Structure 1
């Protein structure tokens, strides 16, 4: 049977040449993980069969949600295991090479760039942070403490009932606008504080409630590349922010460490 190579990631050769991979799971569950060295780098791969991972077969299978979910989860689990063994440039799901010769051509083209990137990523971890806010709780705080709102309420109380109705509508709209401003101001400030503890950050898409399934608004979604020596301090800062923001409806979710998905792609790092 013709065999292809499924590429999981690129590591520094010195970090993986003495590692044991024979017991690791693979994307097809049939073949073992192999390490193919080139220069300072090494590709971590496993052979796969054309009948299961060939280009035409994948065009069909990548439209089958059950298959995609199963294999994508397995791909991620393999990367999670590999990152514990070495600094890793993780490859995208279903990065397939036609042969070892094809892989060596890619390694030849990108080995220098990959080696530099791996040195940069050495000793660092990716952590993801999502910040949510319950707008009802924050709205109560804004309505109670914003000086302009208190002044406006006093002015409205002196108006006729007809005018009060219209002005109260405008005031409610103003309060909603202030809530949005408060949310943005909060995440901007806390992001600046956390950025001081990080090597690099990558802002991600903020999802609406129909996607998150939460009652709270997602106000921030970001990945942080952190030196391992700073991780404890970073997580302590997140915990403190969670505690301090609870009364105004703030909730922070932090997950990690992950493979460095958001910090390992350079212009030439994609395996075509």
Structure 2
């Protein structure tokens, strides 16, 4: 089991800058401060959020709208405008810092009740513009809160391991024949073909396992989503990810998913890894209609 949280909801491919809109009397005329929105729920008090640090020195606080409450924080507009934010979040270290801070606040909010996480870098030029935008989407927030109440997200990933093909090319179990040995070239080509066939069979086995995993866990879940598989990581990860999925289950469902995954691991081929993570705040299901 890993301890990496899902990416903060839907807009992680392109950071949002502070959103402009019609001017109101409540906007800060110098526009030095923007409102970062972390999450939406039915009700939060200032005391519920007192321990959350967020992304600036300002307190994390509730912002009421349309009978709901957003969790927000004032951040310096100069550091969170479109160009500045894009530049900062292009740096992997800064992106990780912001994502972790955002997730920590969402987690604190979720401890108080059903919570809809907002996308990383949801920003507005002042509370009134934030309130107007959130109010326009209040129906979706209410539906999402009904869906995620009492439920959590579990992540499951399936990988095909490259070493499952057996012997690597050029290193046969019986030792390589010398260059002048009879049939050396043909033997080498046969070994290469054998390794390639084994790799293809290993990947096919992993893909079959991925479909079995997704079908079995979808049957247990309230909802399921297949996410884009991740490519090899910068750490030198050589496995191929063939399933990256999220499952929405009741908070009491940890034992069920653990038992199901353990059974699926027992049926999987030797070259297939199945990993789970969670429970998480249901990022992957907060944005659905």
TM-score bucket of the superposed structures, by smaller chain: 0.7 to 0.9
Q: TM-score, normalised by structure 1?
A: 0.75
Task: Give, in whole Å, the separation in 1 of the partners of 2:86 and 2:102.
Answer: 18
Specify the SS of the correspondent of 1:31. coil
Specify the SS of the correspondent of 1:252. strand
Task: Give, in whole Å, the separation in 2 of the partners of 1:190 and 1:101.
Answer: 46
- Residue 81 in 1 paired to residue 108 in 2? yes
Q: Paired residue for 1:185?
A: 208
- Residue 252 in 1 paired to residue 282 in 2? no
Q: Is contact 2:52-2:104 (8 Å) kept? A: no
Q: Is contact 2:46-2:62 (8 Å) kept? A: no
Q: Paired residue for 1:265?
A: 287
Q: Paired residue for 2:36?
A: 6
Note closer, same or farther for the CA distance 1:34–1:195 as it changes in structure 2 (3 Å cut): same
Task: Give, in whole Å, the separation in 1 of the partners of 2:196 and 2:217.
Answer: 32
Unmatched runs of 5 consecutive residues or more in structure 2 = 1-29, 168-182
User: Normalized per residue, which structure has more helix?
Assistant: 1
Q: How far has the Cα of 1:169 moved from its partner? A: 7.0
Specify the SS of the correspondent of 2:50. coil
Specify the SS of the correspondent of 1:233. helix
Q: Is contact 1:198-1:225 (8 Å) kept? A: yes
Note closer, same or farther for the CA distance 1:181–1:57 as it changes in structure 2 (3 Å cut): closer
Q: How far has the Cα of 1:37 moved from its partner? A: 1.8
Match of 2:73 among 21, 25, 46: 46
Q: TM-score, normalised by structure 2?
A: 0.71
Task: Give, in whole Å, the separation in 2 of the partners of 1:218 and 1:59.
Answer: 28
Note closer, same or farther for the CA distance 1:130–1:59 as it changes in structure 2 (3 Å cut): closer
Q: How far has the Cα of 1:138 moved from its partner? A: 6.3
Note closer, same or farther for the CA distance 1:226–1:19 as it changes in structure 2 (3 Å cut): farther
Note closer, same or farther for the CA distance 1:212–1:189 as it changes in structure 2 (3 Å cut): farther
- Residue 99 in 1 paired to residue 138 in 2? no
**Deviation per residue, 1:8-32 (Å, 9 max, x gap):** 011123xx2485222221211x111
Q: How far has the Cα of 1:70 moved from its partner? A: 2.1
Unmatched runs of 5 consecutive residues or more in structure 1 = 141-160, 268-272
Q: Is contact 2:124-2:130 (8 Å) kept? A: yes
Task: Give, in whole Å, the separation in 1 of the partners of 2:163 and 2:51.
Answer: 52
